[in-house]
Amino acid sequence: MAKDLDTTLLRSFVTAVRAGSISRAAVALGHTQPALSQQLRKLEHTVGRPLLHRSPSGVSPTRAGEELLPYAERILSLSEQALSQAGRALTGHCSIGLLEDLAVSQLPQALADLAGLHPDATLEVLSLSNAEMREAYETHRVQLVLDAVGDLPGPPRWTVRRPLAWAIGEGVDATADPLPVVLFTNPCIWRTSLLQALESADRRWRVTFESNSLIGVLAALRAGLGVTALMPSNLEPSMACRTPDTLPPLPDLELGLTRRPRSEGDALVDAVEMVLRRTI
């Protein structure tokens, strides 16, 4: 008999990976920690492979977990969209401003799935500099902006905290003194968070590479130029930190969404906002 993936178990898995901790995920889902652990082990039994590395400092996906994660996120997104949008045709145009790190994660796929359910609707995703995004928002070029709270062009409607993870370049020694670091060009909350974490731990560091794009930072990591901080969804398997005690803990990110006031009541923008909130 073919096996089916239980969306409840998938939601537990995705929440645990995003939170980086079973205890934090249990709080977010309103479960007890033992109950959530049982659900995660049940999913591992269904898949037939371990999905999480468990340690005193938290959890991180195994290779099998990394492979399952994008499918799990897409299944959950499609399930929620199908339930909420069944029988409701959406039309019109909606432009969304996304932080680059989010624009290359699971969000574009979730938005593409929404567009696939509503062929008469047009969605557009823009990834711009802070100044360009503010101009696009003020000139009504975009209706929604999802970004770090400090970089939003307007007051947030809602916020969410997400973890950062260390990414280790090919062959880089994470115990090196000084530590070679790859940074996003200022201004960048990722850069500030990384450097503050190192300073708080009295770790010496040196900058080996800077870039204003995620593509450039990932290329530097693949070339073995240093370490950096990334969202877990953008972490390539070879870059995962296997010995977390060698580097200091990173703070969570606070992300938020701003929406143009005149878009209130627009069914398409409402649906897009719902997708963003549930997927992030």
Which pLDDT tens digit goes with each residue over 202-254?
999 999 999 988 899 999 999 999 999 998 888 888 888 877 788 999 988 89
Q: State the DSSP code for 152.
A: -
Query: In the chain, what are the domains?
Result: 7-82 (1.10.10.10), 89-161+255-279 (3.40.190.10), 165-251 (3.40.190.10)
For the segment 58-70, the average pLDDT, to the nearest whole number, is: 87
Alpha helices in the chain (DSSP H): 7-19, 22-29, 33-47, 63-85, 100-103, 107-117, 130-138, 189-200, 214-222, 267-279
pLDDT tens-digit readout, 73-107: 888 877 766 655 555 678 899 999 998 888 777 77
Q: Is the pLDDT of residue 4 over 80?
A: no
Counting runs of H as helices and runs of E as strands, what totals does the chain give?
10, 11
Least confident piece of the model among 36-50, 100-114, 178-192, 211-225: 100-114
Instruction: At 53, list the tokens.
Output: 């590395």
For CA atoms 240, 148, 19, 94, give the dihedral sign: negative
d(CA 9, CA 71): 13
Given pLDDT bands bounded at 50, 70 and 90, which one contains residue 36?
confident
Which residues, other chains included, contact 101 with Cβ-Cβ below 8 Å and sequence gap of 6+?
190, 214, 230, 231, 234
The confidence score (pLDDT) of residue 216 equals: 93
Determine the pLDDT at residue 239: 87
Q: Work out the pLDDT band at 184, boundaries 50, 70, 90.
A: very high
Give Cα 182 distance to the centre of its chain: 19
CA angle 178, 101, 92 (to 5 degrees): 170
Average pLDDT in the 15-23 region? 87
Residue 1: pLDDT over 50: no
Please state the pTM of the whole predicted model: 0.69
Q: Estimate the crossing angle of helix 7-19 against helix 22-29, to 10 degrees.
A: 130
Give me the pLDDT at residue 82, please.
66
